Structure 1
Amino acid sequence: MRANLSHYPMAALLLSIATSSSVLADEVASYAVDITARISSDIRTRGVSDSLNRPGAKITVQVAHESGLVALAEFTTVSKKQFLEGNGAGVLLAGGYRFGDPEAWHFGLGLAAEMFPGAQYKAPNRFDFNTFTLTDERSTNYNSQFAVLEIGYGALEGRVARVLSKTYRGANTGGVCGTLLLYREDPTKGLECYAKGDRNSRGSMLYDLDYKYALGMNTSLKLHAGYQQLENFSEGNFADYGVGLLHHWWGVDWGVDWVTTKTRARELYLADDDGHTRATDDSSWVFSVSRQF
């Protein structure tokens, strides 16, 4: 079994402040609360499917205080065949501070934690080259923690996240090297990976750049580019791109996105589906419907 390296835990949402919700006032200050429900044909995280290329749902609760403090909780359906032994749910909790002019330069700092309750996998973390056997089997979860920096100008948003936890989505020697050894016909890359010793992915860097442009008639164009730099495991590095349209009609946002990835080792983005191997990094159209309450 292996780590699930399908990318970034929606840190792009970490520092976004609601712009179309009612403001509640108290004696001290005001704040805005948004609740958004979304269903889509696929749950994609920076171009890679977390739902094994199948439909899923997401609920986001976001609170923004006038001081610039932001808090977010997000609940997502994910595939149990990718996040092994879990209950099919992903949870993102985040908090941060944003300042500046939303129409010009603006900045943000925050922390985020992504969790997959109960999900874990077992894999050998060492290869004994004397006996030519795999040893030191351990359990690893998929949970991750991040520090996030945001820099934007108007509708252009750039974000950088650094992984603070021991692993990023479970990426360690057992998860990465074991997967290369399991799925590649030529075992050389897997053995070379094990030969580098026991490593983790703390310090991985995640980069995102997003732009949203109003086309008129309640329609917006969305552009995205991202890059994942996996610490100690360059095999897991990849770039992702996306372009989409969002149309507001009947109080509902209707979206269509084309997403694509450029992975270096596709084996890390394969999943077993009842005896069939499925790629989760294929280019795809993603259709979505969301409503804000």
Structure 2
Amino acid sequence: MSTIQPPRLLPIVFAALAAAGTASAADGPATQPFPPVEAATGDALTANVTLASQYVSRGFQQTWGRPALQGGFDYSHPSGFFAGTWMSTVSPKWIQDGFMEWDLYAGYGGTVGDVSYKAQLYYYLYPGAKLQPPFALKDTKYDYGEVLIGATWKWFTLNYWYTYTKDYFGYNSDTLFIGNDRHSRGSGYVDANFNYDFGGGYGLLLHYGREQVKNFSSFDFEDYKISLTKTFDKGWSASLNFTGMPKVNDYYKHKNTLSVSGDGSFSSPGDRQVYVTIGRTF
């Protein structure tokens, strides 16, 4: 990823570890806005679809301010094992030659007393997408992987995401034009969430996250999110979301970010955003 590209990140903070059979990377499933409801006994296979006014992941716009279509499938087993896949449209102005994010994940979760826990492996694919010259010194894929460990107690969830692949979202010396032969394996994202159920299907989510990009500290960032959610009958859900980034490289604000599609447009993917979603779980 170049100085004109922001860190991805996946994309709705997961509401609670109790719904651990579904994924969540800070804003997308990995970040499913509406995690499937798990069955009390027996295997559970669910599907979900969401329409969002835009896709925002860890504070960054992934669709250049345009709507996004998202959906996925999740499987959970009574033993605590779960796996799934999730997809979202993205903008080629933000991810060069990219039109889709495709997340694959699997993990294990359980409870000890009042504490729920899970460990989860993610891999994020951007089919056909590469950051290419002049936005990078050489062609570089955005694909990367993270491992997650997290725990929930009552209304509070704390998660840590660790990049196990060579690069985090393509961040390296060739794409950031910093140093020589540096890579970003070992980058980490901590996110803390407060999730409160008001009853009647209404909920509140407060999120704070902090990313440390290994070997490229000038691209470290912080993000926050406030979400009001409402669930309805037959698996329908809706949300109103407000996001912001108290710390981010200035390149991602004040209309400084140049489109990588070559159309000459600029945007502010790290500025404050308001968006809505409506979705259904089957």
Alignment gaps of 5+ in structure 2: 23-34
Amino acid at match of 1:143: D
Amino acid at match of 2:173: T
Q: Is the 8 A contact 1:271 1:280 kept in 2?
A: no
1:13-28 paired onto structure 2 within 5 Å: 16-17=20-21, 21=37, 23=39
Aligned CA distance change for structure 1 residues 37 and 138 (closer, same or farther; 3 Å)? same
Amino acid at match of 2:171: A
Alignment gaps of 5+ in structure 1: 126-135, 178-192
Q: Which residue of 2 aligns with 1:72?
A: 84
Q: Is the 8 A contact 2:36 2:74 kept in 1?
A: no
- Whole-angstrom CA distance in 1 between matches of 2:65 and 2:12: 21
Q: Is the 8 A contact 1:236 1:263 kept in 2?
A: no
Q: Which residue of 2 aligns with 1:100?
A: 111
1:20-169 paired onto structure 2 within 5 Å: 21=37, 23=39, 30-86=42-98, 88-101=99-112, 104-123=114-133, 137-169=137-169
- Whole-angstrom CA distance in 2 between matches of 1:42 and 1:55: 4
Q: Identify which of 181, 184, 204 aligns with 2:187.
A: 204
- Whole-angstrom CA distance in 1 between matches of 2:185 and 2:92: 24
1:173-188 paired onto structure 2 within 5 Å: 173-177=173-177
After superposition, give the CA deviation of every residue in 1:142-161 in whole Å (9 maximum; x if it has no partner). 00011111122123211111
Q: Which residue of 1 aligns with 2:275?
A: 286
- Whole-angstrom CA distance in 1 between matches of 2:200 and 2:40: 29
Question: How much has 1:12 moved relative to structure 2?
Answer: 5.2
| Aligned residue pair count | 260
Q: Is the 8 A contact 2:167 2:185 kept in 1?
A: yes
Q: Which residue of 2 aligns with 1:131?
A: none
Aligned CA distance change for structure 1 residues 21 and 276 (closer, same or farther; 3 Å)? closer
Q: Which residue of 1 aligns with 2:31?
A: none
Aligned CA distance change for structure 1 residues 12 and 96 (closer, same or farther; 3 Å)? farther
- Whole-angstrom CA distance in 2 between matches of 1:159 and 1:123: 35
Aligned CA distance change for structure 1 residues 291 and 45 (closer, same or farther; 3 Å)? same
Question: How much has 1:124 moved relative to structure 2?
Answer: 7.2
* Runs of 4+ that moved beyond 6 A: none
Amino acid at match of 1:121: L
Amino acid at match of 1:155: W
Aligned CA distance change for structure 1 residues 70 and 271 (closer, same or farther; 3 Å)? farther
Amino acid at match of 1:225: Y
Q: Which residue of 2 aligns with 1:246?
A: 229
SS in 1 for 2:103: strand
Percentage of matched positions with identical amino acids: 22
SS in 2 for 1:226: strand
Greater strand content: 1
After superposition, give the CA deviation of every residue in 1:15-34 in whole Å (9 maximum; x if it has no partner). 72368647497xxxx21222
Q: Which residue of 1 aligns with 2:2?
A: 2
Aligned CA distance change for structure 1 residues 245 and 214 (closer, same or farther; 3 Å)? same
Q: Which residue of 2 aligns with 1:186?
A: none
Question: How much has 1:11 moved relative to structure 2?
Answer: 9.0
- Whole-angstrom CA distance in 2 between matches of 1:22 and 1:107: 16
Amino acid at match of 2:147: A
Greater helix content: 1
Aligned CA distance change for structure 1 residues 215 and 21 (closer, same or farther; 3 Å)? closer
Question: How much has 1:56 moved relative to structure 2?
Answer: 0.4
- Whole-angstrom CA distance in 1 between matches of 2:180 and 2:215: 10
Structure with max Cα Rg: 1
CA RMSD of aligned residues (A): 2.5
Question: How much has 1:10 moved relative to structure 2?
Answer: 4.0
TM-score scaled by structure 2?
A: 0.84
SS in 1 for 2:73: strand
Amino acid at match of 1:281: G
SS in 2 for 1:66: coil
